[in-house]
């Protein structure tokens, strides 16, 4: 069922947006520029490559580096049974990237969770609100500079 590897064709067709390609521990990894992310994703979802499933979308906070946030997407093609990991880095100042909720429906919740945990903005997201934490919660817990045990109780707690 595994057709031949289309990674060369992907790199050829979207060479503008792709910064680099690596093969880490058997997985194919594409590092993409932020501006061309949406175009590349819709291209990958289309016919020849057929990455129909957005397995997962998450974010990593590299506090030290200049491009602080790094979005990591995992795509999976059902027909070709191949996985692909796509990374794009966002500056710490205004971490904003195009939303993929137009292409895949589960991107809606995934991006809301990343916004809730990291504070990354998504352009074109229908309803960007906190997903896991409560509205009264200030700050984004999964950022490296958020203290691990800083509680913000909703109701007064007896100690």
Q: Smallest distance, Å, CB 97 to other proteins?
A: 17
Query: Can you state the percent helix, strand and coil of the chain, rounding each to 5?
Result: 20, 30, 55
- The answer to whether residue 36 forms part of the interface with other proteins (CB under 8 A) is no
Candidate residues 8, 9, 27, 35; the one interacting with other proteins per rule CB under 8 A: 27
- The answer to whether residue 58 forms part of the interface with other proteins (CB under 8 A) is yes
Q: Is 29 helix (H, G, I), strand (E, B) or coil?
A: strand
Contact 65, 124 (CB under 8 A): no
Beta bridge mates, 110: none
Residue 22 has phi, psi (to 5 degrees) of -140, 160
Candidate residues 40, 108, 122, 128; the one interacting with other proteins per rule CB under 8 A: 108
Which residues here bind other proteins, judged by CB under 8 A? 24-27, 52-56, 58, 60-61, 72, 74, 78, 81, 83, 85, 104-106, 108-110, 117, 127, 129-136, 141-142, 144, 146-155, 157-159
């Amino acid at each position: 069922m595994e057709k031949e590897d289309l990674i060369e064709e992907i790199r050829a067709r979207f060479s503008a947006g792709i910064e680099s390609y690596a093969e880490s521990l058997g997985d194919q990894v594409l590092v993409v520029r932020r501006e061309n992310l949406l175009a590349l994703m819709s291209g990958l979802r289309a016919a020849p490559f057929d990455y129909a499933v957005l397995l997962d979308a998450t974010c990593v906070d590299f506090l030290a580096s200049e491009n602080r946030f790094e979005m990591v997407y995992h795509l999976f093609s059902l027909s070709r049974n191949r996985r692909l990991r796509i990374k794009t880095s966002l500056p710490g100042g205004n971490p904003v990237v195009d939303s993929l909720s137009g292409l895949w429906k589960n991107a809606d919740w995934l991006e809301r969770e990343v916004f809730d945990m990291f504070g990354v903005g998504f352009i074109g997201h229908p309803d960007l609100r906190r997903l896991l934490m409560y509205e009264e919660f200030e700050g984004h817990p999964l950022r490296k500079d958020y203290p691990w045990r800083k509680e913000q109780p909703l109701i007064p707690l007896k100690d």
